[in-house]
Structures are given as structure tokens and as C-alpha cells.
Amino acid sequence: MKIQIYYHQTDCGGVVYYAKYLEFLEEARTEFFEENGLPLTDLYKGGVFFVVARQEIDYKAPAHYLDVLDISTWIEDVSNVRVNFGYEIKNQAGKVIVRAKTIMVCVDKNLRPQAFPEEIKKRLEGLKVHGPK
């Protein structure tokens, strides 16, 4: 996924505010699900919801106002109740800006952990890779 950095995403020095990366990762996950035939709206209708259980972000370099960032998203691991995402964000020059990981837990509508439906688990497992595409 590519995004351009706008002024409202930066601090007074024109550097992307660190918490904005959480939004970028959320958007990248949503795009990942959509591009792989698993729209979140369909999952929700089937009673499959996700919550973030853990988030790791390693900031490698700053991104700046008007930079264009390329966010690579992949699945690193899948269990009965969780899916681990990996990310790498690079700027337009190919410099690594961020590396991150998110652990998402499958929950029911009452936010209790639940196992993935077998079909969804198999599809997620089929998308597993170990690094940027």
C-alpha cells in the first residue's frame, strides 16, 4: 500500500508523528484483507472480529511531509485464535522507515477469544510468508 504524508500527519518539524504509524498499520491490514478476498465486513457478518493483543514498532528513520511511503504487509504466523502480521515501511528512496509486528486475536461479538472458523484459518495460513513480498 502506498500513502503520501500530509501536513496533519506531522509534528511542527515536518516529521511524521510516531503514533500515526498505528493508523498506517491499521489501514495496511484492512487493505491486506481486502486484496486477499477476506473483506472485514464479511468476516464481521460471520461473527469473526479481531482485536490487537500486541503491537511492536521499530522506528528506523523519520518520514517527512510529502514523502510517499510504501507499506508491505504479510502474515507471519497463524494459530487457532491469533494471526501475526509483519510490516515494513519504506520511503520513496527505498529507505526503511519502520518495521513492525501486530498480534491480532479472533474474538466473538462479546470480545471473548474464539477459534477461527476452519475455512478462515486455512485461508490465513495460505497467506503466510516470512518477510516482505
Phi and psi at residue 69, to the nearest 5°: -105, 140
Three-state SS sequence of the chain: CEEECCHHHECCCCEECCCHHHHHHHHHHHHHHHHCCCCHHHHHHCCCEEEEEEEEEEECCCCECCCEEEEEEEEEEECCCEEEEEEEEECCCCCEEEEEEEEEEEECCCCCECCCCHHHHHHHHHCECCCCC
C-alpha cell at 12: 511542527
Q: Catalytic annotation on 11?
A: yes
- For the annotated catalytic residues, the residue numbers are 11
